[in-house]
Structure 1
Amino acid sequence: MLTTVLKKQTAGVVPPKDLTLPLNTILDIDHLETLLKDQDYKNEMIVYLGTVGGCDVQTTTRRVMSSLLVNSLALQLSWKGSGEKRSFQDLILCKVVIAAVHRSAPEQVTNAAVEAAIKVWLRNARDRDGGRKERMLRRHTQNQV
């Protein structure tokens, strides 16, 4: 019965209009932030991202973040926004991600758990898309010289 209710709630869920995911640039984030100021649009986005799913809080958060941002954009963000990086915690999008994970995760979720998973995902951006392998190869070639 629960499965039937969930299917009805998420049937026909499509990305909100005027949006192409994943986001590629800071300008895309700025555009989305403007759109998210409209409460109806924000709710549509939460419902859409809430359909991503996952087996636990960390997996759900990673899947939501990966569906939102390309890795090159994630490299330009951090939780607090230190240095040249932009703060993710100050974005409306952060609140949307937290709400979507609350909606999607199969267990009780705290904001702190979602925030911790976002921090880890942002921190590890440089390791994705071959970044770790590239650093290891550079380190290996420097040691041989």
Structure 2
Amino acid sequence: MYRSGSKDRSRSKHKRAGSTSRDRSRSKHKRARSTSRDKSRDRSTSRDRLRSKHKRARSTSRDKSRDRSTSRDRSRSKYKRARSTSRDTSRKKHQYTISTKDDDQKFPMDEGKFQKRVFFLLMDMRATISDLGKKYEPVDSQFHVEMINRRKGLAQLERKLADGDYRKLLTSRLRKIGGSSLEDNVKNVMKRVLTNWLMAQLNVDGAPPKKKFKVTRLCKVMIGAIQQANQSATEKDITKFMGNFLRSAPDRNGGGGRKKGQIAIELASDSEAE
């Protein structure tokens, strides 16, 4: 009987110990699960906060973009109004009452007709001033060098250059043309007086059917003007560059080309012989 009672007590003791350890284990697992749930909730809360923050940032950037767009629209509208106002002012300013020599009737001109009329008057003034300049031009002037396009014009210039004063005047004009080098100076001087069409009918030594340019008074005036501008330039170098420039004249714009230029030279020679 005694042994049976001790066994029961031992079993009861083991049962209580097992139950206590199981309760402790369950309690521990419950606390662990509760802690993980709390952590998960915290992570979810932080994600929600972050999303809310990004939403607010995007909303702010959209508002700023709308403000910029609105300011651009206002600026464009303001610029358009300013341009429209300036055009209206310009139109009112140019609607003058003008009377012409041919028609005594006065009328308001629109902008296009007014500009055309002003352009015509300016061209007329320019032609008048040019004619006055040719009559009263000083010796040192570099303007109004007339270009020659025909052999007749070259012959007329040759007769004018027989006068010493006219020769000095032309020399002083050509001397001021200049160039980046001696060859460039020669080309600029020749282009100022002769067209490509006439240069296509000339060469330095006068091989038929072209006219000999070296013996003309104009050639001598050109050489003198170029030597005054380039102290070290020799007549040989200048005539060499002249020959090269005359040789390439048919290939330049207005020179007539090789075949057509040759026919033109022969016709010019025949007409001159007549």
Instruction: Give the shorter-chain TM-score range.
Output: 0.7 to 0.9
CA distance in 2, matches of 1:130, 1:76: 12
Unaligned runs of 5+ residues in structure 1 are 1-9, 136-145
Give the SS at the match of 1:37: coil
1:54 — aligned with what? 179
Asked whether the 8 Å contact 1:33–1:93 carries over to 2, the reply is yes
1:100 — aligned with what? 225
**How many pairs align?**
120
User: Where is the helix percentage greater, Structure 1 or Structure 2?
Assistant: 2
- Deviation by residue 1:91-140 (Cα, 9 ceiling, x = unmatched): 011100101111223x51111111111011101112211779x77xxxxx
- Deviation by residue 1:1-52 (Cα, 9 ceiling, x = unmatched): xxxxxxxxx964334xxxx621110001000000000111101110001111
Greater relative CO (CA pairs within 8 A, separation 6+):
1
Structure 1 runs (4+) deviating above 3 angstroms are 10-15
Asked whether the 8 Å contact 2:140–2:173 carries over to 1, the reply is no
Could you tell me which amino acid in structure 1 is paired with residue 142 of structure 2?
Answer: V
Give the SS at the match of 1:113: helix
**Structure 1 residues 130 and 85, CA, compared in 2 at 3 Å: closer, same or farther?**
closer
Question: What is the aligned counterpart of 2:215 among 78, 90, 101?
Answer: 90
CA distance in 2, matches of 1:13, 1:61: 16
Asked whether the 8 Å contact 2:196–2:254 carries over to 1, the reply is no
Question: What is the aligned counterpart of 1:45 among 152, 170, 193?
Answer: 170
Task: Give me the TM-score of the superposition, normalised by structure 1.
Answer: 0.75
CA distance in 1, matches of 2:170, 2:140: 15
Question: What is the aligned counterpart of 2:188 among 38, 63, 66?
Answer: 63
Give the SS at the match of 1:108: coil
Q: Percent identity?
A: 29
Unaligned runs of 5+ residues in structure 2 are 1-138, 259-274
